[in-house]
Structure 1
Amino acid sequence: MRHTIRAAAGLLAVGVLAGCGAPAPTEQGGGWSWTDDRGVTVQLDHRPERVVAQVSAAGALEDFGVPVVGTFGPLVRDDGSTEPEAGSVDPRQVVDVTGPGYGEVNLERLAGLAPDLVVSGKYAEYPGLWHLVQDQEEAVKRIVPTVGVQQSGLSLLDAIGKYEELARALGADVDSPQVQADEAAFHAAAQRLRDIGARMRGEGKSILAVGGTKEEFFVVVPERNPDLDFYVRELGLPITAPRNPDAASGGYFERLSWENAGAYPADILLWDARSASMTPEQMKQNPVFAARPEVAADRFAEWDAVAPMSYASYARIMGRLADQLEAGLARS
């Protein structure tokens, strides 16, 4: 269960950390310096050009114009499609340095890329970086400096801003027409969700964010996730918060037995769409879950729990979410 729950700040409720903000990098005489959200300062004799990143960090950097040479973490599904967590990363254009176990990397393959920098998200409740457990991070740091980026305990826009500023420091043109178009698309999609939220509240309808494994059913705490918190606080989506978050796992979700899968009513279920969590069809094998009215009516919407923090990524995600919520409301 350790693997499942570690995926929890991944599996069902990613979030965390209220670290310090990164100041502008310094480049003097060809040198480069960056202080990350752990308070760790990386100093190099040149701006990093060969970046390896955890897949969602890689997706965010790519969207802001920083190419990566390698990734670690879930990249390709069994059917050959790209994992949602990787966003716009093209698996054919990167080297996967993921190791055999959770939070591990292939150190020989990593070293072979001659990287200048490793970038990943950072979650306060867990040692090490995202998809990089503490002992592995220590091994990685003997090869290449690491940067941790705060990915929750802050607003979605602030989280996106952190990757934008890191991308700027890495030489990307984050004021390009493409990034500006991505930002405009983000705000347009956000307005669609704001309108849907107003409609749902007016009709007294609610959303529940959930996921499951063979052992347990999970109800997600919206405020622990930058995206869900943004949907609730800024856009007004009526996402129900569970009453008893599991403190031992960081308070990201409430853990329930499948016998209690009907504990929280909802009109639409927002389900964790990653391969680590069950699909709606798999969850329907449980009779308690299958008996829920919204399940019988197939009122589901996807939740990409650890998507890349970029305007481009969330413009796509929020647009799809708006489509799925509208479809669910049409069936209610």
Structure 2
Amino acid sequence: MSGAGARGWGFADDRGVEAVAPAVPARVVAYVRAGAALLDLGVVPVAVYGSGHDGPEPDPAKDGGLAAAGVPYLGPGRALDEERLRAVAPDLVVDVTYDGKSPYAVDEGLAERLGVPLVALSVGGELPLGEIIGRFGALGAALGGPEAVAGEGLAGPEAVPPARSAGPGAAGDGGGELAAAEEAVRAAAGAAGPGVLALSGGGPEQVHLARPGAWPELARLAELGVRFLDPGPGPGANWLTGGWERAVEAGPDLVLYDDRAHATSPVGRVPAGARLVPWSPEVPPSPAAYARFFRAVARALEP
């Protein structure tokens, strides 16, 4: 069930849990990545919170348009003050899940103590990017935002209420923007484009090299023709961790680097001639946000 009906509102999340409420929730508190996506889809959260990687201030790499929209940040989710959360009077909490079992950034018990339903949507590498975007679009539509479900191979949303007028940051023609950005990537990648390495700096001595197939947006870029460099054998399903010399030895022409606040800058640590493009492994799962990232990649791929 998804949307509002005679028996109230409900939405089945990606843990297989049915969130229910007497009416369409109007006061949504969300993990910052999820909240930024909902804002793009026309649903303005009353507040957002961070993850264990985050500090007392919001990370601009995850924030999207939240700060500009005046959405308050409550702090890291696992250390979220219960009274501070109560003060914003939420009627729905929205998080993400990487394992399909548990919310990533907030203690599930906190929502239970408040008596507030919690929705967790999958963002892990086992799902194609289009499906992830589609699920957030379905939730946005169920919450009264514009129906902005976009992507390949998507199952459309179930019955949803008519969309309210879009608030700040609404997606508009987000699906069209993303399709155009994907075509720009395809055209720029060419038959044998630059070698691309995605990474996250783990300090002055350590770097995490991304395995492209583990990250939905990188896997999609690969489908569009981007030539990712294999980080090589070793432990780690999502990352291969080692010294910065591994990044140098890979010889990338283009580096997609983690620009979240806790990640170390690659400047001076990768080949001097490599082009650098910021990449947040936590891009808000909306068509508009991915379109912006894909366009940046397309520009960097051009000769």
> TM-score interval w.r.t. the shorter chain?
0.7 to 0.9
CA offsets 1:225-248 (integer angstroms, 9 cap, x no match): 110010002x1100123223534x
Structure 1: 5+ residue runs without aligned partners?
Answer: 1-22
1:302 partnered with 2:274: no
1:229 partnered with 2:206: no
| Corresponding residue of 1:83 | 60
Look up the equivalent residue of 1:226 and give its one-letter code: P
Q: Quote how far apart the aligned CAs of 1:82 are.
A: 6.2
**Structure 1 residues 169 and 184 mapped into 2: Cα distance closer, same or farther (>3 Å)?**
same
- Cα distance in 2 for partners of 1:245, 1:104 equals 33
- Cα distance in 2 for partners of 1:212, 1:84 equals 15
For the Cα contact (< 8 Å) 2:182–2:294, is it kept in 1? Answer: yes
- Cα distance in 1 for partners of 2:69, 2:141 equals 25
- Cα distance in 1 for partners of 2:219, 2:113 equals 37
1:115 partnered with 2:116: no
Q: Quote how far apart the aligned CAs of 1:107 are.
A: 1.4
1:213 partnered with 2:184: no
TM-score normalised by length of structure 1: 0.76
| Corresponding residue of 1:318 | 294
CA offsets 1:138-162 (integer angstroms, 9 cap, x no match): 1232112211001122111111100
Of residues 310-319 and 50-59 in structure 1, the stretch that sits farther from structure 2 once superposed is 310-319
- Cα distance in 1 for partners of 2:292, 2:200 equals 21
Cα RMSD, aligned residues only: 2.5
Q: Quote how far apart the aligned CAs of 1:113 are.
A: 0.8
Q: Quote how far apart the aligned CAs of 1:26 are.
A: 4.6
Of residues 186-195 and 237-246 in structure 1, the stretch that sits farther from structure 2 once superposed is 237-246
Q: Quote how far apart the aligned CAs of 1:267 are.
A: 1.8
| Corresponding residue of 1:43 | 20
1:139 partnered with 2:128: no
Quote the sequence identity (%).
28
Identify which of 218, 232, 240 aligns with 1:254. Answer: 240
For the Cα contact (< 8 Å) 2:96–2:122, is it kept in 1? Answer: yes
Question: Secondary structure, in 3 states, of the residue corresponding to 1:193?
Answer: helix
Equivalent residue pairs, number: 278
Question: Secondary structure, in 3 states, of the residue corresponding to 2:301?
Answer: helix
Question: Secondary structure, in 3 states, of the residue corresponding to 1:280?
Answer: coil
Q: Quote how far apart the aligned CAs of 1:81 are.
A: 8.8
Of residues 168-177 and 311-320 in structure 1, the stretch that sits farther from structure 2 once superposed is 168-177
1:173 partnered with 2:146: yes
1:130 partnered with 2:104: yes
Look up the equivalent residue of 1:174 and give its one-letter code: E
Q: Find runs of 4+ consecutive structure 1 residues off by over 6 angstroms.
A: none
For the Cα contact (< 8 Å) 1:245–1:252, is it kept in 2? Answer: no
Look up the equivalent residue of 2:113 and give its one-letter code: R
| Higher share in strand | 2
1:154 partnered with 2:127: yes
Structure 2: 5+ residue runs without aligned partners?
Answer: 149-162
